[in-house]
Amino acid sequence: MSSSQDICVVIPTIREHECLRAYVDNAREHGFDTDRLFFVLVTEDFCDVDAMRAMLAEEGVDGAVFDGSARDRWFAEHDAAEFSHLVPAASHAQTSFGLLYMWAHERFEYGVFIDDDTLPHDDADFFGTHMENLAHEGPVESVGSDESWVNVLYQSDTDLYPRGYPYAAMDETVETDTEHVDSVVASQGLWTNVPDLDAVRILMDGDLRGQARTRTVADDFRRDFVAADGEYLTVCSMNLAFRREVIPAFYQLPMDDNEWDVGRFDDIWSGLFLKRAADVLGKRVYNGGPLCEHNKAPRSTFDDLANEVAGLELNEHVWEVIDGVADDADSFTAAFAEMADALAEGDFSEWNNGAFLNHCGEYMRDWLDCLDRVEGAATPAAAESPEVPADD
């Protein structure tokens, strides 16, 4: 393990783990130091874990592979078995395990989320650009609207709205300005090819295979930007870098495996918590490059709709619940704790599946307790294991 290893790259994968090779190639082609990278592949017992470990060895990069059994062992070894429910199986929300791994290993100053159906653009230094964004100090376009929401596709000539954007906030009047930005805590890279839309909008775009007929290109993202203070935006974890300090407020919520059948909003709602906490603390979320190519596999749009419909009404209101909460918080932990209380103790019975928000609030409380349990828990010997399958 390199002494400079400070970036934990988390890839949830049950299909296309080979995407990792393209990101490593991109780093080397652009002169980015791959010794800074440690890859955590979060997968399931039914996947080919040996092939993933062999790939890491072939690429000459450090990493670990965690299927469900390995995750259970990790929780037990960190005296945190009571918190294993925080990471749902076979769900995109399992990216939360990568956050826990980072928190236990203090050497990681930065995290990067990559989805396995993406590829980097050859003309951009993927990791280098994210690191530059996180270090940004200077002018950048600031965006807001009369609906308090920013459509991350606002520069596009299309009429698309991304997955998670509230229907009530559509047809907004966009307002732009230029401001001096520093203290960036998250860098959201956007995407070409298949846009990240919800199933209702995909159906409206005339596509039954879960992809949308309209595609995005690099010209749809001409300028980097931040959402202005007090404005919300969709945060998709397919291409995202962040500072360690945000982890307490960045839990990917327990989707898919719940009695309400709510799914597909894990990264969307975690992005709301992140943005609210960042605003309170005077921090910023940077958006734009590096772009990735999103190659979402064809699947039934109606399957996606079935996974999303249980949470659609809640998605219209989650941001309203947390807006104004945690005004006096002095850390991401304190801000998240207040948002957790607001959800856990609120009465949301007027909305379809409103009790799911109480469920999320309780899980958010457990998340903070789990972080307390595992923080810095990895021993130096375990953290520096030369073995690729370092399930520590």
Tens of pLDDT, residue by residue over 75-85, are 999 999 999 99
Nearest to 117 by CA among 262, 20, 260: 20
Report how far residue 189's alpha carbon sits from residue 176's, in angstroms, rounded to the nearest whole number.
Answer: 20
Report how far residue 24's alpha carbon sits from residue 26's, in angstroms, rounded to the nearest whole number.
Answer: 5
Tens of pLDDT, residue by residue over 250-277, are 999 999 889 999 999 999 999 999 999 9
Reading the block at residue 354, the tokens are: 């409103």
Half-sphere exposure of 83 (CA within 13 A, CB side): 23
In the chain, % helix, strand, coil (3-state, to 5) comes to 40, 20, 40
- pTM for this predicted structure: 0.95
- Cβ 263 vs Cβ 257: under 8 Å: no
Which contiguous run of DSSP H or E holds residue 310?
A: helix 301-315
Tens of pLDDT, residue by residue over 286-341, are 999 999 999 999 999 999 999 999 999 999 999 999 998 999 999 999 999 999 99
Percent of all residues in the chain with a pLDDT value above 90, rounded to a whole number: 92
Give the pLDDT band of residue 392 (cuts 50, 70, 90): very low
Question: In terms of pLDDT, which residue wins out, 343 or 2?
Answer: 343
298: buried, middle or exposed (CB in 10 Å: 19+, 13-18, 0-12)?
exposed
Percent of all residues in the chain with a pLDDT value above 70, rounded to a whole number: 96
Half-sphere exposure of 98 (CA within 13 A, CB side): 32
In the predicted model, is pLDDT for residue 60 greater than 70?
yes
SS3 annotation, 232-287: EECCCCCEEEEEHHHHHHCCCCCCCCCCCCCCCCHHHHHHHHHHHHHHHHCCEEEE
Nearest to 274 by CA among 240, 225, 300: 240
